[in-house]
Chains A and B, each alone.
Chain A
Amino acid sequence: MRPHPETWLKVTPGGLWCEPADLFIDPARAVPRAVVTHAHSDHARPGHGAVLATAETLALMTRRLGEGRAGETQQALGYGEPIDVNGVRITLRPAGHVLGSAQVVLEWQGSRAVVSGDYTPRPQATCATFEPVPCDVFVTEATFALPVFRHPPAEGEIARLLHSLYVFPERTHVVGVYALGKCQRVVSLLRASGYDAPIYLHGALPPMTEIYRSFGQDFGDLRPATVANKEALKGAIVLAPPGAIQDRWARRLNDPVVALASGWMRVRQRAKSRGVELPLVISDHADWDELNATIDAVGAPEVWVTHGREEALIHACAQRGVRGRALHLIGRGEEDEATEEAA
Chain B
Amino acid sequence: MKAFAALLERLVFTPARSTKLALLRDWIATQPDPDRGIGLAAITGELSFSTAKAGLIRALAAERTDPVLFAWSYDYVGDLAETVSLIWPARAGVNAAPPSLAAVAEALATAAKADLPGLVAGWLDALDASSRVALLKLITGGLRVGVSARLAKVALAEHFARPVDEIEEAWPAVDPPYLPLFRWLEGAGPQPRAADAPVLRPLMLANPLEEGELAVLDPASYRAEWKWDGIRVQLVATRLGQRIWSRGGEDITRAFPEVAGAMEGLHAVLDGELLVIRNGVVAPFSDLQQRLNRKSVGPKLLRDYPCAVRLYDILFEGEEDLRGLPFDARRARLEAWIDRFRPERMDLSALVPFASWDELSRLRDGAREAAIEGLMLKRADSPYLAGRPKGPWFKWKRDPLTIDAVLMYAQRGHGKRSSFYSDYTFGLWRADGELVPVGKAYFGFTDQELAWLDRWIRNNTVNRFGPVREVEKALVLEIAFDAAQLSTRHKSGVALRFPRISRIRSDKPAAEADALDTLLRLVENRPDRPSGSAVAVREGAWPRRST
- Structural contact, B83 and A148, CB atoms closer than 8 A: yes
Shortest distance from the beta carbon of B68 to any chain A beta carbon, whole Å: 6
- Structural contact, B26 and A167, CB atoms closer than 8 A: yes
Interface residues of A (CB under 8 A from B): 146-150, 152, 160, 163-164, 167-168, 246-248, 250-251, 255, 266-269, 271-272, 275-279, 309, 311-312, 315-316, 319
- What is the bound-complex CA distance between A266 and B9, given in angstroms? 11
Chain A residue at smallest Cβ distance from B70: A147
Contact with A along B415-429 (1 / 0, CB 8 A): 010111000000000
Instruction: Determine if B77 is an interface residue (Cβ-Cβ < 8 Å).
Output: yes
| Chain A binder among B11-19, B41-49, B331-339 | B11-19
- Structural contact, B14 and A167, CB atoms closer than 8 A: no
- What is the bound-complex CA distance between A168 and B14, given in angstroms? 13
In this complex, which of B86, B133, B419 has the most chain A Cβ atoms within 10 angstroms of its Cβ? B419
Contact with A along B74-99 (1 / 0, CB 8 A): 00111100110011010000000000
Shortest distance from the beta carbon of A185 to any chain B beta carbon, whole Å: 21
- Structural contact, B129 and A150, CB atoms closer than 8 A: yes
A146-B72 contact given A152-B128, A267-B77, A268-B79, CB 8 Å threshold:
yes
A selection of 14 A-B contacts at a CB cut-off of 8 Å is A147-B86, A148-B76, A152-B130, A164-B10, A167-B26, A246-B418, A247-B419, A255-B416, A268-B82, A277-B14, A277-B19, A309-B72, A311-B72, A315-B69
Identify A319's interface contact among B26, B66, B87, B412, CB under 8 A: B66
- Structural contact, B13 and A278, CB atoms closer than 8 A: yes
- Structural contact, B83 and A279, CB atoms closer than 8 A: no
Prevailing SS type, chain B contact patch: helix
* B-chain residues with CB within 8 Å of residue A150 when the two chains form the complex: 86, 129
Identify A316's interface contact among B19, B69, B79, B87, CB under 8 A: B69
- What is the bound-complex CA distance between A267 and B74, given in angstroms? 11
Identify A152's interface contact among B69, B129, B133, B419, CB under 8 A: B129
In this complex, which of A148, A248, A309 has the most chain B Cβ atoms within 10 angstroms of its Cβ? A148
A148-B77 contact given A266-B86, A267-B86, CB 8 Å threshold:
yes
- Structural contact, B77 and A279, CB atoms closer than 8 A: no
A246-B419 contact given A152-B128, A271-B13, A312-B72, CB 8 Å threshold:
yes
Shortest distance from the beta carbon of A333 to any chain B beta carbon, whole Å: 15
* A-chain residues with CB within 8 Å of residue B65 when the two chains form the complex: 147
- Structural contact, A315 and B68, CB atoms closer than 8 A: yes
- What is the bound-complex CA distance between A271 and B10, given in angstroms? 11
A160-B6 contact given A146-B72, A267-B86, CB 8 Å threshold:
yes
3 closest cross-chain pairs (CB), A and B: A148-B86, A275-B418, A246-B419
Instruction: Determine if B23 is an interface residue (Cβ-Cβ < 8 Å).
Output: yes
- What is the bound-complex CA distance between A76 and B70, given in angstroms? 44
- Structural contact, A269 and B78, CB atoms closer than 8 A: yes
- What is the bound-complex CA distance between A309 and B82, given in angstroms? 19
A167-B23 contact given A146-B73, A148-B83, A315-B69, CB 8 Å threshold:
yes
- What is the bound-complex CA distance between A163 and B5, given in angstroms? 14
Instruction: Determine if B22 is an interface residue (Cβ-Cβ < 8 Å).
Output: yes
- Structural contact, A269 and B77, CB atoms closer than 8 A: yes
- What is the bound-complex CA distance between A339 and B68, given in angstroms? 29
Shortest distance from the beta carbon of A90 to any chain B beta carbon, whole Å: 35
- Structural contact, A267 and B420, CB atoms closer than 8 A: no
Number of A-B residue pairs, CB cutoff 8 Å, is 80
- Structural contact, B419 and A147, CB atoms closer than 8 A: no
- Structural contact, B22 and A168, CB atoms closer than 8 A: yes
Shortest distance from the beta carbon of B146 to any chain A beta carbon, whole Å: 13
Shortest distance from the beta carbon of A99 to any chain B beta carbon, whole Å: 29
Interface residues of B (CB under 8 A from A): 6, 9-10, 12-14, 19, 22-23, 26, 65-66, 68-70, 72-73, 76-79, 82-83, 86-87, 89, 128-130, 133, 412, 416, 418-420
- What is the bound-complex CA distance between A328 and B304, given in angstroms? 59
- What is the bound-complex CA distance between A215 and B412, given in angstroms? 42
* A-chain residues with CB within 8 Å of residue B419 when the two chains form the complex: 246-248, 250-251, 275
- Structural contact, A272 and B6, CB atoms closer than 8 A: no
- What is the bound-complex CA distance between A152 and B6, given in angstroms? 14
Shortest distance from the beta carbon of A150 to any chain B beta carbon, whole Å: 7
Shortest distance from the beta carbon of A63 to any chain B beta carbon, whole Å: 29
Identify A147's interface contact among B9, B13, B73, B130, CB under 8 A: B73
- What is the bound-complex CA distance between A279 and B8, given in angstroms? 13
Chain B residue at smallest Cβ distance from A251: B419
* A-chain residues with CB within 8 Å of residue B23 when the two chains form the complex: 167
Chain B residue at smallest Cβ distance from A247: B419
* B-chain residues with CB within 8 Å of residue A278 when the two chains form the complex: 10, 13
- Structural contact, B89 and A147, CB atoms closer than 8 A: yes
A148-B6 contact given A168-B19, A251-B419, A268-B12, CB 8 Å threshold:
no
- Structural contact, B13 and A167, CB atoms closer than 8 A: no
Identify B420's interface contact among A148, A251, A268, A276, CB under 8 A: A251
- What is the bound-complex CA distance between A272 and B13, given in angstroms? 7
Shortest distance from the beta carbon of B76 to any chain A beta carbon, whole Å: 6
* B-chain residues with CB within 8 Å of residue A276 when the two chains form the complex: 13
Shortest distance from the beta carbon of A233 to any chain B beta carbon, whole Å: 16
Identify A251's interface contact among B26, B76, B89, B416, CB under 8 A: B416
- What is the bound-complex CA distance between A139 and B155, given in angstroms? 54
* B-chain residues with CB within 8 Å of residue A275 when the two chains form the complex: 412, 418-419
- What is the bound-complex CA distance between A146 and B83, given in angstroms? 11
Chain B residue at smallest Cβ distance from A341: B464
In this complex, which of A149, A267, A272, A316 has the most chain B Cβ atoms within 10 angstroms of its Cβ? A267
- What is the bound-complex CA distance between A263 and B416, given in angstroms? 24
Shortest distance from the beta carbon of A178 to any chain B beta carbon, whole Å: 19
Chain A residue at smallest Cβ distance from B15: A277
* A-chain residues with CB within 8 Å of residue B10 when the two chains form the complex: 164, 277-278
- What is the bound-complex CA distance between A309 and B75, given in angstroms? 13
- Structural contact, A267 and B76, CB atoms closer than 8 A: yes
Shortest distance from the beta carbon of A52 to any chain B beta carbon, whole Å: 37
- Structural contact, A167 and B22, CB atoms closer than 8 A: yes
In this complex, which of A152, A164, A277 has the most chain B Cβ atoms within 10 angstroms of its Cβ? A277
- What is the bound-complex CA distance between A167 and B29, given in angstroms? 11
- What is the bound-complex CA distance between A278 and B9, given in angstroms? 8
- What is the bound-complex CA distance between A277 and B22, given in angstroms? 14
- What is the bound-complex CA distance between A106 and B469, given in angstroms? 49
Shortest distance from the beta carbon of A124 to any chain B beta carbon, whole Å: 21
Identify A312's interface contact among B12, B69, B89, CB under 8 A: B69
- What is the bound-complex CA distance between A342 and B280, given in angstroms? 58
* B-chain residues with CB within 8 Å of residue A147 when the two chains form the complex: 65-66, 69-70, 73, 86-87, 89
Chain B residue at smallest Cβ distance from A244: B419
- What is the bound-complex CA distance between A275 and B418, given in angstroms? 7
Chain B residue at smallest Cβ distance from A159: B6
- What is the bound-complex CA distance between A159 and B269, given in angstroms? 50
- What is the bound-complex CA distance between A250 and B415, given in angstroms? 12
- What is the bound-complex CA distance between A276 and B301, given in angstroms? 39
* A-chain residues with CB within 8 Å of residue B79 when the two chains form the complex: 268-269
- What is the bound-complex CA distance between A255 and B416, given in angstroms? 7
Shortest distance from the beta carbon of A69 to any chain B beta carbon, whole Å: 31
Chain B residue at smallest Cβ distance from A149: B86
- What is the bound-complex CA distance between A250 and B19, given in angstroms? 18
- What is the bound-complex CA distance between A139 and B86, given in angstroms? 26
In this complex, which of B78, B79, B87 has the most chain A Cβ atoms within 10 angstroms of its Cβ? B87
Q: Told that A152-B130, A168-B19, A248-B419 touch, could you supply 20 new A-B pairs with CB distance under 8 A?
A: A146-B73, A147-B69, A147-B70, A147-B86, A148-B77, A152-B129, A160-B6, A168-B22, A247-B419, A251-B416, A267-B77, A268-B82, A269-B78, A276-B13, A277-B13, A277-B14, A278-B13, A315-B66, A315-B68, A316-B66
